[in-house]
């Protein structure tokens, strides 16, 4: 499939029911028309399973689009990681989003990998250059980081371990992105950092996610969303304006692409692409 001139990518999560899977085929087809560089599938997030991830990754590959499998290493052994990566390689997958992942609270770490940088180094040692490796970046600082500088060094460690590029947690402050990229460059890290873009679909869901991920919703956005109450049409129209403006700012700051958290829906992401001419 040909790619759009400005690189875009779409993120999905595995569906849980047969109806959900059937609906998702339509969502994917609508989004493929925008010629994404790749579509990625989350792994182990929100109670989903590895087999759900691999099944959706395989479907995307079979539809002629490059799939990226997210891959988290928390609680995993070297042997389990090796065999799952081999499965992905055999499916023709050539792109990974390598992550530490999160365990539900109350679980110990217990696995053979402590940080995403350990996973990146392992993938490079075992599979050479088979995979293009993406890692996560946090312009507003990962919620468990000791401090911003330590988090930046953790990001640099992932790049040094062999990551090719990065996708950020979503954010609504373009300045945080610009500063993060500058600071990473100051540490000698020049890999492309692609902003992760969250369309605004549902105010209460967004606020819940943002509390969990440490992504700040600026006060003026939060108050306006709250004032719309359950007026979904106004929330979406306002969200489209705010997020499209953010994307424009990011492009003018030199962002090398945009990665959309589609939330398995096409309308809001398509509206953003239309607004941005993508």
Binders of ligand FAD among residues 106 to 125 (CB under 6 A) are: 115-117
Return the number of the residue (37 or 235) whose C-beta is nearest ligand FAD.
37
Query: Segment near ligand FAD (CB under 6 A), from 42-50, 57-65, 83-91, 238-246?
Result: 42-50
Query: Segment near ligand FAD (CB under 6 A), from 36-44, 104-112, 203-211, 221-229?
Result: 36-44
**Nearest-angstrom CA–CA distance, 200 and 192:** 25
Nearest distance from C-beta of residue 269 to ligand FAD, angstroms = 15
Residues in contact with ligand FAD, shown as a per-residue x/- string from 157 to 176 under the rule CB under 6 A = xx--------x-x-------
Cβ contact 75:111 at 8 Å: yes
Residues in the chain: 278
- Nearest-5° Cα angle at 192, 186 to 194: 115
The question of whether 112 is a catalytic residue gets the answer: no
- Residue 76 binds to ligand FAD (criterion: CB under 6 A): no
The residue from 11, 63, 112, 140 that is catalytic is 11
Query: Segment near ligand FAD (CB under 6 A), from 25-33, 83-91, 99-107, 122-130?
Result: 99-107
Paired strand residues for 72: 99
Q: How many residues bind ligand FAD (CB under 6 A)?
A: 26
Among 21, 30, 145, 240, binds ligand FAD (CB under 6 A): 145
Contacts of 196 by beta carbon, 8 Å cutoff, 6+ apart? 11, 167, 168, 169, 170, 171, 259, 260, 261
**Nearest-angstrom CA–CA distance, 193 and 99:** 15
What φ, ψ does residue 95 adopt, rounded to 5°?
-140, 135
Residues belonging to the active site: 11
């Amino acid at each position: 499939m040909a790619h759009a001139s400005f690189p875009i990518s779409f993120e999905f999560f595995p569906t849980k029911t047969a109806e959900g899977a059937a609906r998702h085929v339509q969502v994917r087809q609508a989004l493929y028309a925008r010629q994404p560089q790749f579509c990625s599938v989350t792994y182990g997030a929100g109670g989903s399973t590895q087999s759900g991830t691999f099944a959706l990754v395989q479907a995307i590959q079979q539809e002629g689009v490059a799939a990226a499998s997210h891959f988290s290493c928390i609680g995993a052994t070297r042997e389990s990681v090796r065999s799952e990566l081999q499965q992905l390689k055999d499916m023709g997958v050539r792109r990974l989003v390598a992550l530490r992942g999160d365990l539900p609270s109350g679980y110990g770490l217990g696995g053979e990998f402590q940080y995403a940088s350990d996973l990146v180094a392992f993938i490079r040692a075992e599979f050479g250059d088979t995979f293009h490796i993406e890692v996560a970046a946090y312009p507003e600082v990962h919620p468990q980081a000791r401090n911003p500088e330590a988090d930046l060094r953790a990001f640099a460690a992932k790049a040094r371990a062999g990551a090719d590029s990065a996708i950020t947690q979503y954010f609504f402050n373009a300045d945080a992105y610009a500063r993060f990229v500058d600071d990473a460059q100051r540490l000698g890290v020049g890999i492309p950092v692609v902003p992760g873009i969250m369309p605004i679909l549902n105010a209460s869901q967004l606020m819940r996610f943002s509390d969990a991920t440490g992504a700040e919703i600026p006060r003026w956005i939060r108050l306006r969303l709250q004032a719309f109450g359950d007026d979904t049409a106004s929330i979406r129209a306002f969200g489209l304006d705010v997020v499209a403006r953010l994307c424009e700012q990011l492009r003018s700051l030199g962002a090398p692409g945009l990665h959309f958290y589609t939330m398995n829906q096409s309308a809001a992401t398509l509206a953003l692409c239309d607004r941005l001419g993508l």
